[in-house]
C-alpha cells in the first residue's frame, strides 16, 4: 500500500512540475549500467521475485520505473 501511495505522489509531483519521464524498457546490461549493480545482482532480484522483469522477447527486460522502485 505504501509503495502505491509513493508512486501516486511521484506522479502528482511530475504533473505539477510539468516533468514527463519516459518509462523505458532496459535490457539487463542497460539496467546494470543504469543502477551501477552487477548483472548477477539484478538476476538474483528477478529470480527472487523482488524485481519484476519481462522475458517475452527471449531476453530479460526491466522497466526503468520498476528498477527505480526496487532500488528505493
pLDDT of residue 14: 77
27 close to 33: Cβ distance less than 8 angstroms: no
pLDDT of residue 19: 59
DSSP code, position 33: H
Distance of alpha carbon 6 from alpha carbon 11, whole angstroms: 9
pLDDT of residue 62: 95
Please report the domains of the chain, with CATH numbers, ordered by start residue.
2-71 (1.10.1660)
Distance of alpha carbon 61 from alpha carbon 53, whole angstroms: 6
The cell numbers describing 56, all together, are 517475452
The cell numbers describing 28, all together, are 539487463
pLDDT of residue 21: 60
Q: What is the pLDDT along the chain (72 residues), one digit of tens a residue?
A: 778 888 888 888 877 876 556 788 999 999 999 999 999 999 999 999 999 999 998 899 999 989 988 998
pLDDT of residue 22: 72
Amino acid at each position: 500500500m505504501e509503495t502505491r501511495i509513493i508512486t501516486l505522489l511521484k506522479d502528482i509531483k511530475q504533473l505539477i512540475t510539468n516533468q514527463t519521464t519516459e518509462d523505458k524498457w532496459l535490457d539487463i546490461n542497460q539496467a546494470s549500467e543504469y543502477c551501477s549493480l552487477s548483472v548477477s545482482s539484478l538476476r538474483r532480484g528477478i529470480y527472487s521475485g523482488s524485481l519484476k522483469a519481462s522475458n517475452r522477447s527471449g531476453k530479460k527486460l526491466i522497466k526503468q520505473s520498476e528498477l527505480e522502485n526496487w532500488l528505493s
